[in-house]
Structure 1
Amino acid sequence: MAVNAGVGYVTPPARTLTVATWNIHGAVGTDGRYAPARIVDVLAELDADLVALQEVASLQAHENFLVDLERATGYHIAAGPLYQRTGSDFGNAVLSRFAFKTIAHLDLAVGDYEPRGALDVCIETGAQQVLRVVATHLGLRPGERREQVRRLLAAIERDVPHPTVLMGDLNEWFLWGRPLRWLHTHFREEPMAPRTFPAWRPMFALDRIWVSPVGCLRGLARHSTPLARVASDHLPLKAEIVV
């Protein structure tokens, strides 16, 4: 066990985890069908320890999606509803094979645009080993995303006792834009960015994963299977991390 004086946390023996982020489009696939069973099946394909989900509708067709998802997958689930859409909470969620120590909600709403936010959770992955996960879905407009990334980084920098994963759908089309530059600078590396949208012919790297400290992120790849390509309009993005 080593102490990292630079960031102030004790480093336990390294452990490899699989993390993923996926915009599930309300469980409505590219064929226009609401099919939550496909979401469950793709999650089984991913076999990840931690998953950030975006565009989660808690109630659809008189079903409680998150309750059913928890029952079907065995994951612990932290919900981050942002607003109501057709009688359903709509927002983010984090799925974890480990129990949550803390769950916080970050408000990223800007002006009159669609409400946005992030889930900021800590999980204990082993003896004396805590991992922080910040899961988000940013806005559609460049100025909106700039303000949201400023708030995200301010929140992350306020409390840095543990290794941290930031992941989600950033909606950032501009590879040269300031939000990505700020994030690369903060995390001190520029991870590869597999294209994940649209699922049937990926052209844009909208979904991203960063990890601190530097060097913890391994094996970043999109998950492109026949089922994943129809289950949502985004493909999942998956990575191995060593923390």
Structure 2
Amino acid sequence: MHEAVLKQMPHPEPPGSPGTKARTSLKLLSFNIQVGIRTNAFHHYVTRSWQHLLPHTRRQQTLEQIGRLLRHYDLVALQECDGGSLRSGFINQVEYLAEAGQFPFWYQQLNRNLGRVAQHSNGVLSRIEPAEIEDHPLPGLIPGRGAILARLGKGQHSLLIIVLHLALGARAQDRQLRYVRELIEHHRHVILMGDMNNPLEHLLSRPALKGLDLIYAEETLHTYPSWKPRHALDHILITPDLELRKAEVLDWTISDHRPIAMEVGLPECLHYL
């Protein structure tokens, strides 16, 4: 773990914008954007695989569409972004989406640095200035998975947000979830969000998450594959002192995952955020 440097857009939100109002709730979104590649069928993983290495003219249009979507949310978790390499036209996609979505604060977590070839990253975009950002590489046999810890507010009445992208294998996931539990188990107000590569019932049955009493949407929210969702792989989980007001998967097929959204009610002690 190391403390990270939060980035700020050069033109912060003007007075009276959503980021400056007293808050009783937060609108959250988690989205695996697949580096801006449009995958609308399984055969596209083969026919469009070159886009993981080389730039494509339509990628910029895809990012613009995503940016317009993000404007409706207060805090966004991004997975499978590129931090600025050949395939993205040397554009930091987290920074680009922060600007397109009109977020004053953003952070890019670089998980696999392949130089000019690829900059595999997670990201967080926020309308509220975090008091703290931490970068946590997650354990695993193959390095390259990470979690971002963003703390909104200070002290015992702060809100801890963990943005993560878990590994595919069960053994690696167990290690990673145990690591995440150590970050959150003594904190009262927590949001876990990201691509967890596992159905919710499997995640919640893992010893690492037992006893946390995490709240989640009652209905199953399928996010993958985007063109015909059958698997719930992306999740937003909250601790009991937060209120789940609304949760939904958006009907977007711009990536191979659909984005998942949640509105969370905040207790009175967090209204100052």
User: Per the shorter chain, which TM-score range?
Assistant: 0.7 to 0.9
Give the structure with the larger strand fraction.
1
Tell me if the contact between 2:67 and 2:100 (Cα under 8 Å) persists in the aligned partners.
no
Quote the offset at 1:215 in angstroms.
4.9
Alignment partner of 1:233 is 2:242: no
Q: Deviations over 1:34-73 (max 9, x none)?
A: 5243234234335110010001111112323233223222
Alignment of 1:39 onto 2:63: yes
Looking at structure 1, the residues matched to 177 and 114 of structure 2 have their Cα atoms a distance apart, in angstroms, of 25
State whether residues 36 and 65 of structure 1, in contact with CA within 8 Å, keep that contact through their aligned partners in structure 2: no
8 Å CA contact 2:110–2:121 kept in 1: the answer is: yes
The alpha-carbon deviation at position 138 of structure 1 amounts to 0.2
Task: Give the number of aligned pairs.
Answer: 222
Query: Quick check: 2:151–2:160 contact (8 Å CA) kept in 1?
Result: yes
Secondary structure (helix, strand or coil) at the match of 1:109 reads coil
Pair 1:30–1:150, CA change in 2 (3 A):
same
Deviation at 1:212, TM superposition (A): 1.6
Shift, 1:24, TM fit: 0.6
Comparing 75-84 with 200-209, greater Cα deviation is found at: 75-84
How far off is 1:181 after superposition? 6.5
| Shift, 1:110, TM fit | 0.9
Shift of 1:79: 1.2
How far apart, CA to CA, are the structure 2 residues paired with 1:43 and 1:180?
35
Give the Cα separation in 2 of the matches to 1:42 and 1:56. Answer: 12
Match of 1:172 among 184, 195, 198: 198
Report the counterpart of residue 15 of structure 2 in structure 1. none
Give the letter aligned to residue 80 of structure 2.
Answer: E
Unaligned runs of 5+ residues in structure 1 are: 1-12
- Cα gap change, 1:153/1:129 in structure 2, threshold over 3 Å: closer, same or farther? closer
Aligned residue number for residue 79 of structure 2: 54
TM-score (normalizing by structure 1): 0.81
- Match for residue 4 of structure 1? none
In structure 2, what is the equivalent of residue 25 of structure 1? Answer: 34
Look up the match of 2:222: 195
State the 1:163 CA deviation: 1.9
CA distance in 2, matches of 1:115, 1:235: 22
CA shift, 1:89, in A, is 2.3
RMSD of the TM alignment (CA)? Answer: 2.6
Superposition deviation, residue 80 in structure 1: 1.1
Matched, 1:141 2:169: yes
Identical-pair percentage:
25
Report how far residue 188 of structure 1 moved: 4.0
Give the Å deviation of 1:184: 6.0
Once the 2 structures are TM-superposed, how far is the Cα of residue 119 of structure 1 from its aligned partner? 0.1
Distance 1:176 1:38, change over 3 A: same
Structure 1 residues 133 and 38: alpha-carbon distance in aligned structure 2, compared to 1, 3 A threshold: same
CA contact (8 A) 2:216 2:236 kept: no
Q: Please point out which of 213, 228, 233 is paired with 2:240.
A: 213
Change over 3 Å in CA distance of 1:30–1:86 after alignment to 2: farther
Cα distance change on mapping 1:37 and 1:100 into 2, 3 Å: farther
Which of 145-154 and 69-78 deviates more? Answer: 69-78
Q: Provide TM-score, normalisation by structure 2.
A: 0.73
Kindly state the Cα deviation for residue 109 of structure 1 after the two structures are TM-superposed.
2.7
Gapped regions of structure 2 (runs ≥ 5): 1-21, 41-47, 49-55, 267-273
* Cα deviation, residue 90, structure 1: 1.2
Q: Secondary structure at the match of 1:187?
A: coil
Structure 2 vs 1, CA of residues 43 and 164 (structure 1 numbering), >3 Å: closer, same or farther?
Answer: farther
